[in-house]
């Protein structure tokens, strides 16, 4: 394996099942499916922000030019078609 390249966790799991039970690759894949539990990346809505410490990811930040409304991005206020930033008083150009 080339230096710096991480092994695929699924392949590693299949190899360990194959070695432990002495199976063919085909049978090892079928057996490995039964015990495989994919690991979560830990990155998703509500996870800590990596770019803004102390904040939460996937929320509208003060410097953002878009609203985060029900998981969708929008550049205008609800019920309006006027494009503006999410924060600040109406009419201000912050």
| Residue 71 covered by a domain | yes
CA dist., res. 27 & res. 25, Å (int): 6
Per-residue pLDDT band at 48 (split at 50, 70, 90): confident
Beta-sheet strands, E only, within 9-84: 67-69, 72-74
pLDDT at position 21: 94
Provide the residue range defining the domain that includes 54. 50-87
**Residue 35 forms part of a structural domain:** no
The pLDDT value recorded for residue 19 is 95
Question: What's the average model confidence in pLDDT over 60-83?
Answer: 67
Q: Tell me how many domains the chain contains.
A: 1
What pLDDT does residue 40 have?
Answer: 72
Tell me: the pLDDT tens digits for 21-32? 999 999 999 999
Q: What are phi and psi of 16, to 5 degrees?
A: -65, -40
């Amino acid at each position: 394996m080339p230096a710096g390249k991480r092994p695929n966790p699924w392949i590693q799991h299949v190899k360990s099942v194959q070695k432990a039970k002495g199976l063919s690759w085909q049978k090892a894949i079928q057996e490995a499916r039964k015990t495989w539990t994919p690991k979560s990346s830990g990155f998703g809505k509500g996870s800590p922000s990596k770019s803004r410490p102390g904040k939460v990811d996937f929320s509208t930040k003060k410097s953002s030019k878009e609203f985060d409304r029900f998981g969708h991005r929008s550049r205008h206020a609800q019920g309006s078609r006027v494009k503006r930033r999410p924060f600040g008083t109406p009419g201000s150009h912050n």
